[in-house]
Amino acid sequence: MAKELPDPKSAADGFWGIRDWLSDRPWWLSLWAMVAAFGTYFCMYGFRKPYTAGSFGGPGYWHWDEKTVLLVAQTLGYAVSKFVGIRVISEMTPERRPKALLGLILFAHLALLGFAVTPAPWHIPFLFLNGLPLGMVFGLVLGFLEGRRVTEALSAGLCASFILAGGISKSVGQLILDMGFTERWMPFLSGLVFLFPLFLFVAMLKCIPEPSEEDRVSRSERVPMTRADRWSFFQRYAIGLIAITTVYFLVTLMRAIRDDLAPELWRGLGAAASPTDFATTDLVVALTVLAICGLSIWIGDNRIALLASLGICLIGFLLLVATLVAQRTSPMAPQRYMILVGLGLYLPYVAIHTTVFERLIAATRDRGNIGFMMYLVDSIGYLGTVALLLGKPFLPDGGEVLPFFQRIGGWIAWLSIATLIVAIFYFQRLVIAPREPK
C-alpha cells in the first residue's frame, strides 16, 4: 500500500507546533512576528544595497557616470516591480507567500552572479534583473503583519529593518572590498553572507498564525483584492490617496539620495565615512522612528490614529526644514546632520508604511489590503527616483550631491507640508464605518 503523504497545509500549521503555541500567547506572537519580518527584509537588503558602497569609477555612458547608470538600472527594475506588485501583491494568498519570497530573492542573487561575470557594458542589465523581483518582497512580508491590533508596532519593526539594513549592507559591501575583492564580485559575495539567515527568517514567517477574531473585529478582515475592488477603493478615496501618493513620491526621492549616494553626501560634509558610520547613524534613526511610529497601537480609535499618523508625517518634514536651514547658517557635524535628515525623512516614510493605510482600511472597513495601496504609491515613488538620477548630471552644481540635496530638500519639504495639510482636512471629514459586533 502506498504511503499517504501528509497534507502540506497541515504540516505548515503544525510546524513543530509553533503556530498553535503562538496563537495562545499574543506577546510572544508579536515578538516572533517582528523578528521574522525584520530579519527577512533585513536580509533582502543584503542582495540589493551592498553594491552602493562601491565607487564604480569606470567609463561613463553618455552623460552619466557608471555608478549612476547602475543605480538607474536597479531602481528601474524596482519600479517596474512595484507596478507589477499592484496586482500580484494585492491578489496574493497567504499560503503562497513563503515560496514566493524565497524564489524572488534567489532570482535576484543569481542576477548578481551574472553582474559579476558578464563583461561591460552587458553587466548593467543584470542589476535591472536584480531589482525586478526584490520590489515585491516588502508587500509579501507585510501581508503576514497587517490586520492585527499591533500591526503598527510590527510594521514599524519591519520598516526599521530597511532603515538599518541600508547602512549595514553598505558596511558589509565595504568590508568585502577591504578584503581585496573587486567591485563587480562584491554584491554577489555580500548576498552569500545573508543567504542562510534568510531561510531561517522566512521559516519563522511561515509559522505566524492568521489574525485572530479580536483582530478582525478591531481592524477588519484583510482579503485579496480583485481589479474591480482596487478600482472601487481608489475612486472612493481618490483625493486622500492622491495627496498621500504625492507626499510619498517626494519623500522617496529624498530617501533615495540619502541612501544610494550616502558616501558622496558624507564626503560633501567633509568626512570620509567608515563602515561603522553608515551603521551607527542608521541605527539611531531606526530606533527613534520605531519607537515613535509604534506608539500608535495604543490609539484605539482608528480615525484618530489615522490623523495622528499624518501629524507624524508633518512633524518629520518640519524637522527636515529646520535641519536644512541650520546646515546653511552654521554647518553641523556630519553624523548629526545625517541623523537629523534621516529622522525627518523616515518619520513620514515609515508612518505611511505602518499606520496611514492600515488605519484607513480599519476605519472604513472596506474590502482591501495594505499591499494594494503601498504598491500604488511605491510605483510612482520609484519612477520619480529614476528620473531624479537621470537628471543629476544636468544640475547646475555639476553633479555635487550635497548642494543638490540641500536645495531640492527644501522644495520637497515645503510642498509635502502643504499636501499633508490637504490630506489631514480630507480625512478629518471621513465617514467611519461601525465595527463588527463581537
Amino acid at 30: S
Can you tell me the distance from the alpha carbon of 315 to that of 319, in angstroms, rounded to the nearest whole number?
Answer: 6
Phi, psi of 158 (to 5 degrees): -65, -45
For residue 377, is pLDDT > 50? yes
Higher-confidence position of 136 and 53 = 136
| Number of Cβ within a 10 Å radius of residue 333 | 11
Q: What is the DSSP letter of 132?
A: H
Check residue 293 and give its pLDDT: 86
Closest alpha carbon to 135 in 81, 97, 83: 81
Residue 12 falls inside a structural domain:
no
The answer to whether 29 and 208 have CB atoms below 8 angstroms apart is yes
Tell me what the pLDDT averaged over the chain comes to: 86
Average pLDDT value for residue range 36-42: 95
Long-range CB contact pairs, 430-434, < 8 A, 24+: 430/240, 430/303, 430/306, 430/363, 430/364, 431/364, 432/302, 432/303, 432/363, 432/364, 433/363, 433/364, 433/365, 433/366, 434/365
Q: Check which CATH number belongs to the domain holding 148 and give it.
A: 1.20.1250.20
Check residue 432 and give its pLDDT: 54
Residue 69 falls inside a structural domain:
yes
Residue 1 falls inside a structural domain:
no
Closest alpha carbon to 10 in 95, 107, 72: 95
Residue 333 falls inside a structural domain:
yes
Closest alpha carbon to 37 in 153, 154, 150, 195: 154
For residue 254, is pLDDT > 80? yes
| Number of Cβ within a 10 Å radius of residue 29 | 21
C-alpha cell at 238: 481618490
| Number of Cβ within a 10 Å radius of residue 126 | 23
**pTM for this entry:** 0.81
Number of compact structural domains in the chain: 1
The β-bridge partners of 64 are 61
Residue 10 falls inside a structural domain:
no
| Number of Cβ within a 10 Å radius of residue 366 | 16
Check residue 375 and give its pLDDT: 92
Handedness of CA 99, 104, 106, 110 (dihedral sign): positive
pLDDT band at 438 (very low <50, low <70, confident <90, very high): very low
For residue 118, is pLDDT > 90? yes
Residue 214 falls inside a structural domain:
no
pLDDT band at 32 (very low <50, low <70, confident <90, very high): very high
Can you tell me the distance from the alpha carbon of 281 to that of 48, in angstroms, rounded to the nearest whole number?
Answer: 20
Residue 17 falls inside a structural domain:
no
- Whether a cis peptide bond, with omega within 30° of 0, leads into 121 is yes
For the ranges 128-142, 279-293, 358-372, the maximum mean pLDDT occurs at 128-142
C-alpha cell at 390: 537621470
Check residue 263 and give its pLDDT: 77
For residue 434, is pLDDT > 70? no
Average pLDDT value for residue range 215-221: 87
pLDDT in tens, 263-283: 778 888 887 766 677 778 888
pLDDT in tens, 184-198: 999 999 999 999 999
For residue 8, is pLDDT > 80? no
Domain interval for residue 139: 25-208+220-428
Total residues found in the chain within this entry:
438
Burial class (CB in 10 A: 0-12, 13-18, 19+), 315: middle
Average pLDDT value for residue range 204-208: 94
The answer to whether 229 and 367 have CB atoms below 8 angstroms apart is yes
Closest alpha carbon to 140 in 190, 81, 194, 186: 81
Residue 382 falls inside a structural domain:
yes
